Amino acid sequence: MSSAAQPAARPRRRGRALGRVAVVLLVLLVLLGIGAVVADGALRSYAEDRVAEDIESELPAGVEGNVDVTIGGASVILQYLSGSFERVDLVGRGLTVNGTPLDAHIRATGVPADRTKPVERAVGRFGIDEAAVTALLDASMDAPADVALTRGAVEYSAPVQLLGIELTYDVTAEPRIDGDTVVFTPTDAALSAGSGSFDVGNLLGEERLASLAFPVCAAQYLPEGARLTDLDLEPGRATATVEAESLQLSGDALGTVGSCG
């Protein structure tokens, strides 16, 4: 065996050694990546539980129940280091407001890690049953009593005297959001006496029907600065969509409601 052949084996051994180092480094990088994912998942779970506890402790007076929190977006660690979270979903479990059951789902975006700062934007959907809607309307001097919910409208009755006879209007009214107020404008009416009734919507005309409309201040039930953007009615249930910018998620802020006029 010639002396010139022996040195040629060293690069191959060196190449195999470098290959093994590369494999080890690759395995380590994979393990580090898995560790980062596990750590991020654990931190996400901790952060969600901590935020839920903080929010529950800040619920306004008269509001009781639990809140589930889900932090969306990319790595929680990176979001925290950036100073804000991309998306946070809040879902109320067994919430009641002064004893009235309430379903709530709020999606907040641009949520600062520092909770003393306001949330960039929040959109919430709140569902209440017919009894709660009736109670809210009863609190309004302009609203009629005994309101029933139908698809896209409310129905109620109003007494009227005609030639000394006690009659009743059975009115169907649809909601329209006008700034801070929801205006319920009748679209149809039936006049009843005893067991008989007949449609008087066409006889009354649009102008007379419009005169039977009644407003309800929505702002008085919402945190100051929040606005009602949609009201979906169906038999036995109403769902309100509320939006807000620069909303402070604190008990004082959430407990300070708006006003109309």
Higher-confidence residue of 27 and 174: namely 174
Predicted confidence (pLDDT) at residue 133 exceeds the cutoff of 90: no
**Among 39-43, 107-111, 130-134, 243-247, which stretch is predicted with the lowest mean pLDDT?**
39-43
| Structural domain contains residue 203 | yes
Query: What value does the mean pLDDT take over residues 54-82?
Result: 84
Same domain, 138 and 117: no
Same domain, 76 and 113: yes
pTM over 0.85: no
Same domain, 237 and 213: no
| Structural domain contains residue 179 | yes
114 vs 198, 216, 246, CA distance in Å? 62, 36, 14
Domain of residue 92 covers: 43-127+223-255
Same domain, 167 and 196: yes
Query: What pairing do the DSSP bridges indicate for beta strands 237-247 and 227-234?
Result: antiparallel
207 vs 153, 167, 177, 250, CA distance in Å? 19, 21, 19, 45
Same domain, 195 and 157: yes
Confidence label for 229 from pLDDT (cuts 50, 70 and 90):
very high
- Distance (Å, rounded) from C-alpha 15 to C-alpha 5? 17
Which residue(s) pair with 67 in the sheet?
92
AA identity, residue 198: F
Q: Total domain count for the chain?
A: 2
With a pLDDT cut of 90, the percent of the chain lying above it is 19
| Structural domain contains residue 30 | no
| Structural domain contains residue 230 | yes
